[in-house]
Structure 1
Amino acid sequence: MDHVGILAEAFYLPPDKKRVEDVFRDESVPFGTLSKNIDFQRDIGIEDIHVTSDLPSVLALEAAKRALDQSGVSAEEIDLVVDFTSIPEDYVGPTWSAAGLVQQELGLVNAFSTAVNTGGCASYHLALKSVMALMLCDDDVETALLFAGDRTPDLNKTYYPITVASDGGSALVLRKNADRARILEVETISIGRLHDVWYVPGLQNREPNEEVSEKLLHMYAKMDKFNEGVIPINFRMFGKVMDRLLKKLDLTHDDVDYYIYPTFSTWDQAYFMKKFGLTPDKVYTSALKHRGHVQESDMVINYAEAVEQGLIKPGDTVMVVSNGAGFAWSAALIRH
C-alpha cells in the first residue's frame, strides 16, 4: 500500500534577537498571577526571541530552499506547493498567494500552488493531512513542498496569557513511498464555537471613527471565551486526539518513543508531561528558552532539532501534537 514520507524538514530563524523583558516593556504586558500561582512574566521560561524586519515570504523562501537542498529533490520534481502559514503574510487576505511566490522564486515549473492555513498553530497537521490524502489519491502528485513564514508585528509578539512569538520559517518535502519519516496517520478535531477566541481584526472590523493603524493587524484574544471555552477542555482534547489517532493504528502511548510539542511556556510543557505521564527525556522542550513560539513552525523546527541532536532516531515512532486558534487539536504519528 502506498504511503507518504518526509524526505526533509528545515527551518530558518533570523539572526537578530530581542530579549523578552524588552518585549514585555514595549508591549505593556500586565504583571500578576494567572491560575495556580503562575505569573506570566516570571514563569514564561522564554528569555529571547528571533525578530526581523523582513517580509514573511523571505523567511519562508529561505526555509524552503534549505528543505529542497536537504532532500536532494530538484525544482522540476515538485508537483505541489502548499503554504500552511497561520497569520497574515506579505499582503492581507487570500487574494495574494505566498505559495505562488515560492513557486516562482524557486522555479517549481511543474507544481500547483495553494494553501491550507486556517488551523492556527495546528495548520501543520491540517496541511499534512490534506496533502497526504491528495498524494495518495492522485497519481500525478509524487512530491510536495510545504512551507510557512511568520513575522508578527513589532509590538504584537506577546500572545498573553499563552506565549511570546518568534519570527521564523519552516518547510517540509514530502514524497510518496519515501522510506524516511513515514507519516502513519494524522488526526484533527475542531470545535466551531471557539472560532474567534483568537483573531486579527483587519480594516473591516474598525470601530466607528477608529483611525487606521498597525494594531488592526495585531492578534487579539477574547479572554472570557478563552478562559471559559478553551482552558477547561484543552488537555482533555489533547488526550482525545492522541487516543483517537493511536486507536486507528492499534497502538498505545507505550508504543510512542518521542513527543514533539509546541514551545508555548514552561508551565504548559510541564502540565502536558504531567497530564500524560511523560518524562522530560520523552518531550522536546529545550528550544523554549531562546526561541519561544514560532506559530505552526514549532512542530517542524522542534522535530528537525530533535533529529539533529539524536533525540529522534531511525525507526522511532514520534507523536507530533499541537492545538491552534480556530479552534483545533491535532496529532500526527511519524515512523522516523
Structure 2
Amino acid sequence: MIGIEATSIFEPEYIETAADLAKKTSIPEKVIIEKFGLRQKRVARESMHASDLAVAAGRGILENIDPKAIDVVIYFGSPFKDYQVWTASSKIQYELGTINAFSFELMNVSSSFPVALKVAKDMLYSDKDLKNILLVGGSKESMIVNYENPRSRFMFNFADGGAAALVTKNPTKSEILSSSIITDGSFSQDVLVPGGGSVKPVSKEVVEKEEHYIDVPDPLRMKERLDPVSIPNFTKVIKQALEKSDASLEDLKMLLPLHTKRSMFTEILGNLGLSDKQAIYLNEHGHMSALDPCYGLYLAEERGLLNSGDIAVVVSAGTGYTWAATAIRWLA
C-alpha cells in the first residue's frame, strides 16, 4: 500500500485583506468576498522565495521523520521561482538535510499536486529501494499580478505559501488510490508571462511594457472557449478517479480543490451532489499555484473532517490546460 503519511503547510505572516485588494483593483470589497470568494490571502516578505516557502513547509514533515530516511524530494510548486533555469529542488534537498535523497521538479503549474501524488505512488510501486518520497512546493505568485492590467488583474487571488506531503510505503494515515488527468493543449497560449523566455528575452522594452507579469492576451476568447469545458472536465476527472478506484460519487466524502471563484466552486459541488461542508474552500488563503489541494488536505485533517474509510479527492487545474484528480482513502 502507498499513501500520504503526513502533510504540512507554511503561511507567511503578512495578510492582505479583501479591503486591501479593493483599493488595488477598484473592485468593490463585497464583490471580492462574495463573487471571487476571497476574504484574505497571505503574502511573503521580500526575502522569502518559493524555495524558502517549500523548505519551511518541509520542515513540518521532518519533525516526525529522520531527514536521512527520505529517498526522493520532488518540488511540485510554482514555476515562478527564485531564479530562472534553476532547480529549487536541489536547494530544498540540501536545506532540509535530506542527504540520502535525489531530487527533481514536476512542473505543471496549478495542476501539479494530484499529478505529483500519482508520480510518487508509481515510483514507490516500481522501485523496491524507495520507501519515502517528500513532495514540497512553494508559491510566491502574488508577485506576478499586475493590478494595472485589466486583462489579468482578476488573478488577484494569487497568493503565497508553502506545502509538503510525505508519500510512503505501508502508511497508517491514508492510501493513494487512482488518478485521472485531462490535457487540452489548445489553451497553451492563453495564460503566460510574455517576457523573460526565449520568445521575448529580458530587455528594457519587456520591463517598460510590464511583460514580466502574468497576462491573458485575449480574456474574452479564452472565456468563450474555457467556460463550456472547464466544469465538465473537473467533474469528469473526479468521477474517473473514483471509478478507477472502484468507488462512486456516493462514496466521496470530501473534495479538496484549488481556489476558484465562488460560482465555479458551488457548481462543481452541485454536479457531485456535495454540500459546502464536504469541501475545503480556501477563501482565507487564495490560490497558491499547485499548493491548494495539499493545503485543503492539511486543513481537512486539522479540522477533524476525515474519518477512517472516508474517500477524498484532491483536484486542480492548471493553465495550459490540464485538469487532474487523485482519490485518497483515509485510514486513521
Q: With structure 2 as the length reference, what TM-score do the two structures score?
A: 0.89
Aligned residue for 1:191? Answer: 184
Aligned residue for 1:86? Answer: 78
C-alpha distance in structure 1 between counterparts of 2:114 and 2:103, whole Å:
18
SS of 1:231's equivalent in the other structure is helix
C-alpha distance in structure 2 between counterparts of 1:281 and 1:214, whole Å:
44
Q: Does 1:210 align with 2:200?
A: no
Question: Per-residue displacement from partner, 1:78-123 (whole Å, max 9, x unpaired)?
Answer: 1101001133100023xx11110011111111111001112x2111
Measured after TM superposition, the shift of residue 291 of structure 1 is 1.7
Q: Say whether the 8 Å CA contact 1:122–1:330 is kept in structure 2.
A: yes
Aligned residue for 1:275? Answer: 271
Q: Does 1:315 align with 2:309?
A: yes
In structure 2, relative to structure 1, the CA distance for the partners of 1:126 and 1:171 (3 Å cut) is same
Task: Please point out which of 244, 251, 272 is paired with 1:248.
Answer: 244
In structure 2, relative to structure 1, the CA distance for the partners of 1:273 and 1:162 (3 Å cut) is farther
Question: Per-residue displacement from partner, 1:272-311 (whole Å, max 9, x unpaired)?
Answer: 22232221121122x31x2222221111111111111111
Task: Please point out which of 219, 222, 244 is paired with 2:214.
Answer: 219
In structure 2, relative to structure 1, the CA distance for the partners of 1:117 and 1:107 (3 Å cut) is same
Contiguous gaps of at least 5 residues in structure 1: 32-37
Contiguous gaps of at least 5 residues in structure 2: none
C-alpha distance in structure 1 between counterparts of 2:209 and 2:117, whole Å:
32
Q: Does 1:48 align with 2:43?
A: no
Matched residues, percent identical?
Answer: 26
Measured on the aligned residues, the alpha-carbon RMSD in Å equals 2.4
**Matched AA of 1:318:** A
Alignment of 1:61-210 (within 5 A): 61-69=55-63, 72-93=64-85, 96-118=86-108, 120-154=109-143, 156=145, 160-161=153-154, 164-204=157-197, 205-206=199-200, 210=205
**Matched AA of 1:164:** N
* Structure 1 stretch displaced more, 123-132 or 224-233: 224-233
Q: With structure 1 as the length reference, what TM-score do the two structures score?
A: 0.88
Q: Say whether the 8 Å CA contact 1:163–1:264 is kept in structure 2.
A: no
Measured after TM superposition, the shift of residue 30 of structure 1 is 6.2
SS of 1:44's equivalent in the other structure is coil
Question: Per-residue displacement from partner, 1:237-259 (whole Å, max 9, x unpaired)?
Answer: 11211222222223210011111
Q: Say whether the 8 Å CA contact 2:159–2:288 is kept in structure 1.
A: yes
Q: Say whether the 8 Å CA contact 2:115–2:326 is kept in structure 1.
A: no
**Matched AA of 1:15:** E
Q: Say whether the 8 Å CA contact 2:138–2:162 is kept in structure 1.
A: yes
In structure 2, relative to structure 1, the CA distance for the partners of 1:240 and 1:58 (3 Å cut) is same
* Structure 1 stretch displaced more, 127-136 or 269-278: 269-278
Measured after TM superposition, the shift of residue 8 of structure 1 is 0.5
Q: Say whether the 8 Å CA contact 1:6–1:180 is kept in structure 2.
A: yes
**Matched AA of 1:112:** F
SS of 1:189's equivalent in the other structure is strand
SS of 2:211's equivalent in the other structure is helix
**Matched AA of 2:322:** A
SS of 2:189's equivalent in the other structure is coil
SS of 2:207's equivalent in the other structure is coil
Question: Per-residue displacement from partner, 1:221-244 (whole Å, max 9, x unpaired)?
Answer: 241342122111011111211222
Aligned residue for 1:335? Answer: 329
Task: Please point out which of 258, 261, 286 is paired with 1:262.
Answer: 258
C-alpha distance in structure 2 between counterparts of 1:123 and 1:155, whole Å:
19
**Matched AA of 2:274:** L
**Matched AA of 1:77:** A
**Matched AA of 2:167:** L
Measured after TM superposition, the shift of residue 213 of structure 1 is 5.6
